[in-house]
Amino acid sequence: MRSVAVLALAAAYLLGCTAGAWADCKLRGGEHVVLYGSADDPSVLAWDSAERLREYNAASFDEARALALHAIDLSPGTRAQVVSCRPDFVQSQTADVVGDAVGVLILTGSYRGLTRWVLSTDIRDVDRAKKQHH
């Protein structure tokens, strides 16, 4: 458990999170989340950099296939912890959706312990859901 906390702090440092950047994000550093895409396509691509995440969402299909080498496919329901955020960093090419690039520490599954970037629309906030449930 201690190793996970150390990894989280290190990841936060490495991802260059700033206080100003958090201000416009819906998520807060340290929040526990669940990764889940859409009902049609629930798995989530997690990227090794926020820039690639952004490029993927703006790329052509062939470019996207090439970029996909830098992504891992996370099963829906993978748990993670928010460690970083870049508000309104990703602009979808087709849908007029602006999303945050969120740095997460993967807590479950075969990629446990890795830090990656995911789109904020692929994140479900577990803590907030629990509070609303109670």
Stretch that binds other proteins, among 8-16, 20-28, 81-89, 93-101 (CB under 8 A): 93-101
DSSP secondary-structure letter at 75? Answer: P
- 73 in contact with other proteins (CB under 8 A): yes
The 3-state secondary structure of 4-64, one letter per residue: HHHHHHHHHHHCCCCHHHHHCCCCCCCCEEEECCCCCCCCEEEECCHHHHHHHHHCCHHHH
Question: Judged by CB, which is closer to other proteins: 5, or 95?
Answer: 95
Question: Judged by CB, which is closer to other proteins: 32, or 75?
Answer: 75
- 45 in contact with other proteins (CB under 8 A): yes
The first and second tokens of residue 89, run together, are: 């960093």
Q: State the residues that interact with other proteins by CB under 8 A.
A: 38, 40-41, 43, 45, 61, 64-65, 68, 71-73, 92-95
